[in-house]
Each structure stands twice: as C-alpha cells, then as structure tokens.
Amino acid sequence: MTDNGDLYVERAPGNLLTAEDWNTMQRKIHDDIRATSQAAADNVTHVASADDATHLEGKDLDDLTAEVTKRVLDEIRGRSGYQQLFKILKSGEVTELQHGLGTPPLVDVYKLEYFEVVCREDDETRAAFATFYLCHSDERRVRVTDENSQRRSIDIQPKDFPEVGIPFADMLTRYNVQYTDTTSLDDLEVEFWKAFFSAPNDQFGDDQYCHSPWFERCCKEQQSVKQLKDKGDWNDMIFHVRPRKSINFEATDAQGPQTFPRPANVFVQHLDNNRTGIWFRGDAVHDVGDEERAREYIGENEFDHELKVMVLLKV
C-alpha cells in the first residue's frame, strides 16, 4: 500500500495473487521506494563529508533502493501465509507443526539429501556428509586427505547438473540476522546458525553443518563485512542445501510392483486449523553417492531411521 492509502494491486479476500500481480507489485514498490529515497536525499542540506554527498554507508541511490526493496519484499513473503520449515522426522513418530495459519495449508515436503563436502574446523580439514554447508562460489571442487591418507577431490557443485546454492546474504536477510560493516564473518556465521536453527526449525546435529576452508580462513582473519564487500567476496558466499522430491511411478521387478518414494513413506494430516502432523514409516530412503560411507559418517540409527525434510506450507 502506498503512503496515500492506494493499493499497489487491489484484490478481494480469497483472490489468488498471480505472477503478473506479484511482478506489478514489485515494480510499484521499487518505484515508490526510489521516489521516497530521492525526495529525502533532495531535502538534505548538510552532509558530513562532501566527497560522500551522494552516498549513504557507501551506497548510492540505486544500491539503497535495491536493498530496501529486497527487504520489503522478503517481509511481504514472510507475512503472506507461506512458511518454510526445516525439520527432523523420526520413524514412526508424529512431528506436530504449529503453523498458526488459521486454515489447513497446502503442504509440500522435500527430502534434504546428505551431500559430501570438505569441512575445515579447529585446524582440521575433513570429508563429511552435510545437510547444510557454507562456502565460496570458487570452491567448486576441494581436495582432501581421506581416512586412508589418500588425496582425493570432492565436487561441491554436483557434476552434470545445474549450479546450486543460495547467496549467504539472502539467507541473512531471510532470517533477519543483523550486522554492520564492522561485523566479522566469524560473528556473522555464529548469529546466522543461531537464527537458522531457532523455532520453528529444528536444531540439527553439529556434524550436519559446517563451512569450507575458505570460510575458515576468513573467520580466523576476522574479516569484516566491509572487507568482504570491498574484495568482491560478499556476493560469492554460498549456502548449500539439497531439498529434493521425486514423482514416483510404480515399477515392476521379480518381486512384483514396487515403489521407491523419496521422501520415504511420508504422511501428512491436518490436526486443526493451526496444527499439522507429519511423519514417516519404515526405513529412510536416501539418494547419496556412497551410501556405505554416508551411513558410517552419519551413524546407522540416524541414517536409517531419521528423515531430514524441508516442509513448505501455503494458504
């Protein structure tokens, strides 16, 4: 809604917001913010430094407009009845989602696949099977010495597949992690994981998330947000997660009709207008490159009887 009370896109209660509506709203919000920012800048009669008269914290009008617009749109998404949850399901146990949406939402479930990475922590570099991972975009393939003292390479970006990963800066905005130009990357990462694993998300085990050798080096050097931006690394920091869903068709083999669902045997039931139950039965099914090594790293009980999922709820 504009300052004068006019709606960006007028719709009656219960109407769907189409892609065209959303695009129109984004353009109008951007134009409104830019006009407001320009008017505010035009009213400034004194600046602390003449050399920085057209900037605020090093950002010009276009940069400021883009940043404010992004934050506004993220806030709108957060209030639009859409929720994204990261949960740990245990075989046979019902996980209760208290979404508070006031009506049974559409539910979509994606399995979080384990993927092999190279972690660097406490002066130790090791291969791991992670669920969440932070690295630099240049770290597409990282070498590591394995448990047999053999050097090998691990592909952070999967082969023969479109590039994956979310800018770390976008994740900071989504989880409302506050920072300034002087905040160190080390402190920023600590605050991010704290926000990411707070309710309604579950707390994942500390062997399920880590960062790369590049991240470790920058953290140890106490590089600040400003330094990372000045060096051009700020937008190259990537958050990795592998939410995956398969559309399952029945297959026939010697034992008769078989289905191989991923996520494995997941059930969803609405408990009331503000709560939804989700659970799975049987053993977890994984699509990981080296299942034997992954099971050994994760632990047999957790690997076979827990399912990490991303749940999307939409009214």
Q: Would you list the domain boundaries of the chain?
A: 19-78, 83-111+245-314, 117-241
pTM of this structure: 0.75
Angle of helix 19-42 relative to helix 61-78, nearest 10 degrees, comes to 140
The whole-angstrom separation of Cα 282 and Cα 17 is 39
pLDDT of residue 247: 73
How is residue 56 annotated by DSSP? B
Token code pair at residue 199: 């309710």
**Whole-angstrom distance, CA of residue 250 vs CA of residue 256:** 10
Give the separation between CA 105 and CA 247, rounded to whole angstroms.
21
Do 264 and 307 touch, CB atoms closer than 8 A? yes
For residue 272, the one-letter residue type is D
Reported as a single tens digit per residue, the pLDDT across 175-184 is 989 999 999 9
CA distance 206 to 211: 11
Spatial CA neighbour of 308 closest among 129, 136, 163, 154: 129
Residue 53 has pLDDT above 60, yes or no: no
Express each pLDDT in 58-103 by its tens digit.
567 777 777 777 776 666 655 555 789 999 999 989 999 998 888 8
What is the DSSP track for 68-95?
A: HHHHHHHHHHHTTTEEEEEEEEETT-PE
Q: Are strands 106-112 and 243-244 parallel, antiparallel or unpaired?
A: antiparallel
Cβ contacts of 273 within 8 Å, gap of 6 or more:
101, 102, 103, 104
Distance of CA 59 to the CA centre of its chain: 26
pLDDT in tens, 254-275: 666 665 656 768 899 999 999 9
- Give me the mean pLDDT over the 39-43 stretch: 63
